[in-house]
Amino acid sequence: MPSLLTDIPRPVRRTLQACAGLATLVLLFEGMRAVGLLPTTSVPSTGEILGALRTSVVDGDMVSAIGYTVLAWLLGLLVATAIGIPSGIAVGLSRWADRATRSAVEILRPVPAVALVPVAIVLFGIEVPMQVFLIAIACVWPLLLGARGGVRAVDPLQVDTARSFGLGQLAIIRRVVLPATVPAMVTALRLSASLGVVVAVGAQLISGSPGLGSLLVSSQNAGKNDVVWACLLVTGALGVVINLLLASAERGIAGWQALSTEGRR
Amino acid sequence: MKAPTFRSVTHRSVGWIFVLVLMGLWEIAGRRDASGLFPPLSEVLTETLEVLRSDALTNDILPSVARALAGFVLGSAAGIALGVVLGWWRALEPWTTAPLEFLRAVPVPALVPLAVALYGSTDPMKVGIIALGAFWPVLLNTVDGIRRVDPGYIESARVYTSGSSFSILRRVVLPAATPQITTGLRIGLAISLILMVVSEMFGASSGLGYLVLQSQRLYAMTSMYAGVVILALVGLLLTALFSAVEKRAMSWFDGMKGRTS
Amino acid sequence: MTISTTTSPAPVLLSADGIGKTYVGEKGAQVEAIGDVSFTVAEGEFVAIVGPSGCGKTTLLRTIAGLLKPSRGEIRFDDKAVRRVPDGFGIVFQEYNRSLFPWLTVRKNVEFGLKDLPRQLRTERAAEALARVHLAGVEDQYPWQLSGGMQQRVAIARALATHPRVLLMDEPFASVDAQTRINLELMTAEISAELGLTTLLITHDIDEAIFLADRVFVLSARPSHVLMEVAVDLPRPRDELATKADPRFLDYRRTVYDAIVHPTTDTTPIATTIPRAEVLT
């Protein structure tokens, strides 16, 4: 088998292997249905799921659910970035600001964002802004801590080098500290992005706010199991797309750092 | 010696003063709010204490904590175990990457309605969902951590162990990958906590999450906030517990990092 | 070809027979790191292999150690072919910070290779090895809390604790400062003399090779082969100042230096032995 595989060019081989892996997943799913590990009464077949996916896309339900989810996710991430990154840089640069806020951050960070769903409903109702609020709360911490850690990890030698070229405080921050922090921030963004999807779907489930989560619940209540599974398929695909985009961004931006440092966190 | 202790005390207190300021702001805002949607902190805390003193502690809160802890431990253990296999035997990588990328991308909360439909709103279901939430980040970080172990360590290990793959794995690769596995555990814990809440708020008829949601529906703002505070405390407690364990296990890493950076 | 310099030749403990190593480089091109290397190391002998940077020294050491499979030829240790790292090899790498385990204390690092021994014996062995490298009182610290020179001592102690029959050292002193380097060299000479330890040192430093070794093999640039073998006839114990001022030392040094800088025998990969008389005149 390996000798046969090594003759195929690497990218083609990789794609074939990936497809084989995915096919195995589908077979496993169908196998579990056939054996009875997944009850056929409530778990539809792959064909039925794909059929439901097509109809729900055609009648627009799925498209608007995806649209709302992506919109809330993007806005939430945007707000979290706008707040988290500057604050993270500030506490990274200023020991004093860090000391002043550290306890508050340590108390607030472990609060599971979805626990605030009721609060968010009271404050914002059950439309998209509520989701944005919750996503922003969940995602702000990784971004803040990522930016802070990135600033902290800047090699003092690089700062001294910049100083030896006569750069002032602000110029050092802009031309040395910030560029050196970018990879850490992109990593934090990737983490926040997947966290954002989790919180978005969780909030939609609980509150009925529009999106894939609520489509999932309403389909289930209507007994449309095939649509429920189609929703799962779509959330997975959405997650894959988001991960791939951010991973390639991370590789692009952080490439030089991966090469230049031995250990990354 | 006198100056540093004085300084470290002020350093710590500055942080707490800020926390107190935030709490004060909540109190003032609550008192000025006429809509009744934003009760002052003092009322929320009084209510919180009342809930903590009632039988809700043993009926709702402790079971929540136990489920979160059980799910987190089970999910992490499974994640580390599978992560070691996938990280160490690299021939598996090209076959498993695509299916795993898809499975892990399905946000675990999306599985909650199905799980409730299939298994009911039971303890094993909730523990399973929480475990799945912890599983993915731990798995991914373990795989990554093991792949990134410095080949220098493995080479030394091959010189000074009898050369068996298993003993190199156990004595060198796993310890060397601990920092990144710990990163995965920390993310896993945060997601476990989110799922603890989701699994209680969705389709449940009892439990802490249900209580909070019910209070919101009844516009009982003070008890709603008290519930949120308790959920926050549970998160804080489990995170603190994790940090304590982490600190002991990772003292070498923190020390080394402090020295080199 | 070789002229034995000792009156009663000790048995050969370690040998390389026509070792070659070709690997596939990044762009799929074949890189020939080691052309054709043969040598022997007798029991109790201190042999140094010296070569220009980038001549595949580290590849050679890893191949000798059994960490890499040679593409051609064979390494033999104690009359058996080396296929993986044999028991009885102690290896010291150049990059101590990548070979000592940062999550273990100094003591645990030194005891690392002794897992199968009872605890009592482990402790004794570790203490003995740490004493040999003149390290005491740092057992409970972590390696990264020590200076580079001290870390390399720990690495040497870790190798010694296993009571190796051969000590392999790959540029062990290349990452420390000059003063520390001299101290470590003297210590290494002392240890291998006291224990009668068979030692193979790989280095780019001509002085270090001559100062420490009984015999020096000079490697060519890539693909490496042995340009020359020099038997070093200098009295022991050697002294940093006296030995390095000895005219014979200077002759050896010039010979090796010329061989590396003007490798006239580059095209003929045959070991050339310098007759002792020639060197002495």
Complex ipTM value: 0.85
B13 shares contact with chain A (CB less than 8 Å): no
Nearest Cα of chain B lies from the Cα of A168 at a distance, in angstroms, of 23
More confident residue, B246 or A82: A82
Residue C279 CA to residue C231 CA, distance in Å, equals 10
Whether the per-residue pLDDT at A181 is higher than 80: the answer is yes
What is the DSSP code string of chain C? Answer: -----SSSPPPEEEEEEEEEEEEE-TTS-EEEEEEEEEEEEETT-EEEEE--TTSSHHHHHHHHHTSS--SEEEEEETTEE-SS--TTEEEE-S-HHHHS-TTS-HHHHHTGGGTTS-HHHHHHHHHHHHHHTT--S-TTS-GGGS-HHHHHHHHHHHHHHT--SEEEEESTTTTS-HHHHHHHHHHHHHHHHHHT-EEEEEES-HHHHHHH-SEEEEE-SSSEEEEEEEE----SS--HHHHHHSHHHHHHHHHHHHHHHS-TTTTS---EEPPHHHHH-
pLDDT at B163: 66
φ and ψ at residue C32, rounded to 5 degrees: -95, 100
Residue C104 CA to residue C112 CA, distance in Å, equals 9
Please name the residue that has the structure tokens 């994640």. B79
Give the residue extent of every domain in chain C.
11-88+165-176+193-264, 95-163
Average pLDDT over residues C208-223: 89
Which of A4-8, A39-43, A242-246, B51-55 is predicted least confidently?
A4-8
Cis peptide before A9 (omega within 30 of 0): no
Local structure of A158: helix, strand or coil: helix
C-alpha dihedral over B188, B191, B192, B196, to 10 degrees?
A: 180
pLDDT at A260: 41
Nearest-by-Cβ selection for B105 from A122, A206, A239: A239
DSSP annotation of A110 reads: T
Give the pLDDT confidence of A97-146 residue by residue, as tens digits.
888 888 888 888 888 888 888 889 888 988 999 999 999 999 999 999 99
B142 shares contact with chain C (CB less than 8 Å): no
Contact yes or no for B82/B139 (Cβ under 8 A):
yes
Subunit contact B212:A262, Cβ cutoff 8 A? no
Mean pLDDT of chain C: 84
Chain B residues with CB-CB distance to C65 below 8 A: 159
pLDDT band at A257 (very low <50, low <70, confident <90, very high): low
pLDDT at A245: 86
Q: 115-134 in A: which are within 8 Å (CB) of B? A: 115-119, 121-123
pLDDT band at C279 (very low <50, low <70, confident <90, very high): very low
Q: 33-92 in B: which are within 8 Å (CB) of A? A: 37
The total number of residues written for chain C in this structure? 281
Subunit contact B161:C162, Cβ cutoff 8 A? no
pLDDT at B14: 83
Chain B: residue nearest C168 by CA? Answer: B159
Total tally of structural domains belonging to chain B: 1
Residue B144: inside a domain, yes or no? yes
Residue B124: inside a domain, yes or no? yes
pLDDT at C9: 67
B255 shares contact with chain C (CB less than 8 Å): yes
The total number of residues written for chain A in this structure? 265
In terms of average pLDDT, the best of A261-265, C26-30, C42-46 is C42-46
Local structure of B164: helix, strand or coil: coil
Q: What burial letters (b/e) apply to B13-51, b meaning 16+ CB within 10 Å?
A: ebbeebbeebeeebbeebeeeeeeebbbbebbbebbeeb
Within 10 angstroms of residue A221's Cβ, the number of other Cβ atoms is 11
Chain A residues with CB-CB distance to B213 below 8 A: 117-118, 206
Instruction: List the single best residue of B12, B17, B19 to mutate versus A (max A Cβ within 10 A).
Output: B19
Average pLDDT over residues A175-204: 87
Chain B: residue nearest A193 by CA? Answer: B105
Nearest-by-Cβ selection for A18 from B14, B97, B239: B97
pLDDT at A264: 32
Local structure of A116: helix, strand or coil: helix
Whether the per-residue pLDDT at A159 is higher than 90: the answer is no
Local structure of A41: helix, strand or coil: coil
Residue B238 CA to residue A50 CA, distance in Å, equals 41
Give the residue extent of every domain in chain A.
63-264
Please name the residue that has the structure tokens 């220098």. B152
Residue A65 CA to residue C2 CA, distance in Å, equals 83
First to last CA, chain C: 21
For chain B, 261 residues long, give each residue's pLDDT as a single digit of tens: 444 566 667 767 888 888 899 999 989 988 888 787 888 889 899 988 988 888 878 888 888 889 999 999 999 999 999 999 999 888 888 888 888 888 888 999 999 988 888 888 888 999 999 999 999 999 999 998 999 898 889 888 888 887 678 888 888 999 999 989 998 999 999 999 989 988 888 877 777 888 888 888 888 888 889 988 988 888 888 889 898 888 887 777 877 776 544
A1 shares contact with chain B (CB less than 8 Å): no
Residue B110 CA to residue B133 CA, distance in Å, equals 11
Residue A142 CA to residue A260 CA, distance in Å, equals 24
pLDDT at B184: 92
Rg (CA), chain C: 19
Q: 153-192 in B: which are within 8 Å (CB) of A? A: 179-180, 183, 187, 190-191
Please name the residue that has the structure tokens 């021939």. B91
Nearest-by-Cβ selection for A104 from B19, B201, B212: B19
Subunit contact B114:A101, Cβ cutoff 8 A? no
C-alpha dihedral over C221, C226, C231, C237, to 10 degrees?
A: 50
The Cβ-side half-sphere exposure at A54, using a 13 Å CA radius, reads: 5
Local structure of A263: helix, strand or coil: coil
More confident residue, C162 or C8: C162
Nearest to A215 by CA among A195, A200, A196: A200
Residue B43: inside a domain, yes or no? no
Chain C: residue nearest B260 by CA? Answer: C144
First to last CA, chain B: 26
Residue B174: inside a domain, yes or no? yes
Chain B: residue nearest C147 by CA? Answer: B259
DSSP annotation of A138 reads: H
Residue B56: inside a domain, yes or no? no
Show which subunits contact A, needing at least 3 CB pairs below 8 angstroms.
B
pLDDT at A5: 57
Subunit contact B255:C98, Cβ cutoff 8 A? no
Q: 48-107 in A: which are within 8 Å (CB) of B? A: 96, 99-104, 107
What separation in angstroms does the CA of B250 have from each of B169, B176, B177, B242, B259? Answer: 18, 11, 11, 12, 14
Which of A17-21, B104-108, C70-74 is predicted least confidently?
A17-21
Instruction: List the single best residue of B194, B212, B229 to mutate versus A (max A Cβ within 10 A).
Output: B194
Task: Look up the CATH number of the domain holding residue B156.
Answer: 1.10.3720.10
Subunit contact C142:B252, Cβ cutoff 8 A? yes
Residue B254 CA to residue B247 CA, distance in Å, equals 8
Token pair listed for B189: 């814990």
Chain B residues with CB-CB distance to A119 below 8 A: 216, 224-225, 228
Which of B60-64, B78-82, C120-124, C180-184 is predicted least confidently?
B60-64
Chain C residues with CB-CB distance to B252 below 8 A: 102-104, 142
DSSP annotation of B39 reads: -
Q: Hey, CA dihedral for B248, B249, B254, B256, is it positive or negative?
A: positive
B19 shares contact with chain A (CB less than 8 Å): yes
Nearest to B56 by CA among B214, B207, B237: B207
Chain B residues with CB-CB distance to A200 below 8 A: 107
Token pair listed for A195: 């966290």
Nearest to C179 by CA among C187, C190, C168: C187
Instruction: List the single best residue of B106, B191, B224, B231 to mutate versus A (max A Cβ within 10 A).
Output: B106
Q: What burial letters (b/e) apply to A24-56, b meaning 16+ CB within 10 Å?
A: ebeeebeeebeeeebeeeebbeeeebeebbeeb
* A17 contacts: CB under 8 Å, gap ≥ 6: B94, B95, B98
Chain B residues with CB-CB distance to A66 below 8 A: none
Residue C92 CA to residue C106 CA, distance in Å, equals 15
Residue A50 CA to residue A59 CA, distance in Å, equals 14
Subunit contact B256:C162, Cβ cutoff 8 A? no
CATH of C11-88+165-176+193-264 given 3.40.50.300, 3.20.20.210, 3.40.50.620, 1.10.10.10: 3.40.50.300
Nearest to B209 by CA among B191, B227, B226, B223: B227
Nearest Cα of chain B lies from the Cα of A197 at a distance, in angstroms, of 7
The reply to whether CATH 1.10.10.10 applies to domain A63-264 is: no
Residue B137: inside a domain, yes or no? yes
Whether the per-residue pLDDT at C57 is higher than 70: the answer is yes
> Domain range for residue B238?
61-250
Subunit contact C84:B163, Cβ cutoff 8 A? yes
Cis peptide before C223 (omega within 30 of 0): yes
Within 10 angstroms of residue A9's Cβ, the number of other Cβ atoms is 7
φ and ψ at residue C277, rounded to 5 degrees: -60, -40
- CB–CB contacts below 8 A, A to B: 187
Instruction: List the single best residue of A103, A135, A234 to mutate versus B (max B Cβ within 10 A).
Output: A103
Q: What burial letters (b/e) apply to C198-226, b meaning 16+ CB within 10 Å?
A: bbbbbbbbbbbbbbbbbbbbbbbbbbbbb
The total number of residues written for chain B in this structure? 261
Pairing of strands C272-273, C89-92: unpaired
Within 10 angstroms of residue A166's Cβ, the number of other Cβ atoms is 7
pLDDT at B2: 43
Which of A114-118, A165-169, C177-181, C261-265 is predicted least confidently?
C261-265
pLDDT at B5: 63
- CB–CB contacts below 8 A, B to C: 64
Beta bridge pairs of residue C22: C32
Residue A198 CA to residue B134 CA, distance in Å, equals 12
